[in-house]
Amino acid sequence: METISATVSPNPSSTDTLLLTLDEVARHLRCARRSIERHVASHRLHAVHLERSVRVERRELERFIAQMREPDDA
C-alpha cells in the first residue's frame, strides 16, 4: 500500500505567503517598519486591511520595488 504525503508544509516559507506583515515587508526591503508605514499612509504602497491587521500583497511589494527602480519621467 502506497502512502501519499502532503506537498504543503505546515509552516509556509515567505515565498509561499500571499500577504506579508509590515515587519516582513520591512525585512525584505531592509528598512524600518516606520518607513513602510509612511509609504502605506502616502498610498505609494497599497495595503490590505483585515480588521485591525495591515498586510501587503507579495505582488504589490514586487510592483513597489519595480516602481522604485524606474526613473521618474517628470
Over the stretch 38-63, which tens digit does the pLDDT of each residue have? 999 999 999 999 999 999 999 999 99
Position 12 confidence tier, pLDDT thresholds 50, 70, 90: low
Burial state string for 17-37 with b = 16 or more CB within 10 A and e = fewer than 16: eeebebebbbebbeeeeeebb
Q: What is the pLDDT of residue 9?
A: 47
pLDDT for residue 32 is more than 70: yes
Whole-angstrom CA distances from 20 to 2, 6, 25, 70 are 37, 24, 6, 23
Place of cell 500571499: 18
CB 63 within 8 A of CB 29: no
Q: Domain containing 34: what range?
A: 19-69
**Best CA proximity match to 47, nearest among 33, 16, 74, 71:** 33
- The answer as to whether 50 is a domain residue is yes
Q: Is 0.85 surpassed by the pTM of this model?
A: no
Q: What is the pLDDT of residue 60?
A: 98
- The answer as to whether 12 is a domain residue is no
Q: What is the pLDDT of residue 15?
A: 64
- The answer as to whether 2 is a domain residue is no
